[in-house]
Amino acid sequence: MKVLVTGGAGFIGSHLVSALLERGDHVVVLDNFSSGRRSNLDQLQGDIELVEGDLRSYERVHAAMSGVELVFHEGALPSVPRSVQDPLTTNEVNVSGTLNVLLAARDEGVHRVVFASSSSVYGDADGFPRDETQRPQPLSPYGVAKLAAECYCRAFWQVYRLETVSLRYFNVFGPRQDPHSQYAAVVPRFIARLLEGKPPVIYGDGNQSRDFTYVGNVVAGNLLAASAPNVAGEVLNVATGGSLTVNELSTAIQETLGVQIEPVYEPARVGEIEHSAADISRATRLLRYEPLQSVEEGIATTIDSLRAADALSA
């Protein structure tokens, strides 16, 4: 099968590309390398078809879509803090870019688009854990953009009969995340600082909780969503189904590393939600999704990956 992965040089996208190649698909990657890294594709260069281009260009998106049967739309401008600083670009990439993907998929007769949404769409919605029936109340431009893109996906199924499935990811972590970006996710950032003998920096009091989800679980959810019957137009949580506070995460990472360093606390960041945990029962029922790796297993694998990367760069 010919498959397109937008954002295929990114953290999640590159893991998905590897899994698709392993099962024998012909994989096309569309990326402009604004946040994705060429190094994520180094071992795959001879096995993929690479199209360099921006999601904001319908022409480039359409060129990448030629002959494609299935699309995994991972391409996005990530990060809540970045969206607070620059909401306009976040909207252009994550909303208009998604519209370009859907239009090109419709025009090329693609069978299904699996869209990478986010738990940030829930914001401070009532009810815990988060389930798909709750009314979204996003707190950040990033969450608003992901919700708007979900609505476009559903509309394209209803109006054009283009099958779409939106997966709401919860705090994904794992190898290939950049720990040194100013918008780095908390897990690689904590690990990198602790490996350097520095204290982890926690924004807020550390009692905010998250459903930390290892990237392998997200890849598995995508593969299931690509082929599951009777899921067109659906929105589904993909997560672990539990939660840790940021303080508990710091402790878990330090225990795995065998170190003990008191965190440094900074003021909470604007747009960040207080608590997040997923009800994954709908994905379990419709996709037969179950997490394959625990948070603890994911932390250990991520630590090994960052250590190996440090050894190579030394």
Catalytic site positions? 142
Instruction: Provide φ and ψ at 205, rounded to 5°.
Output: -90, -5
Q: What is the DSSP string of 161-219?
A: --EEEEEEE-SEE-TT--TTSTT--HHHHHHHHHHTTPPPEEESSS--EE--EEHHHHH
- Token pair 């909401």 in the structure block, residue: 87
Report the 10 Å Cβ neighbour count for 171: 24
Q: Are the C-beta atoms of 179 and 137 separated by less than 8 Å? A: no
| Strand-strand pairing, 48-52 and 26-31 | parallel
Q: How far apart are CA 294 and CA 212, in angstroms?
A: 9
- Amino acid code (one letter) for 198: K
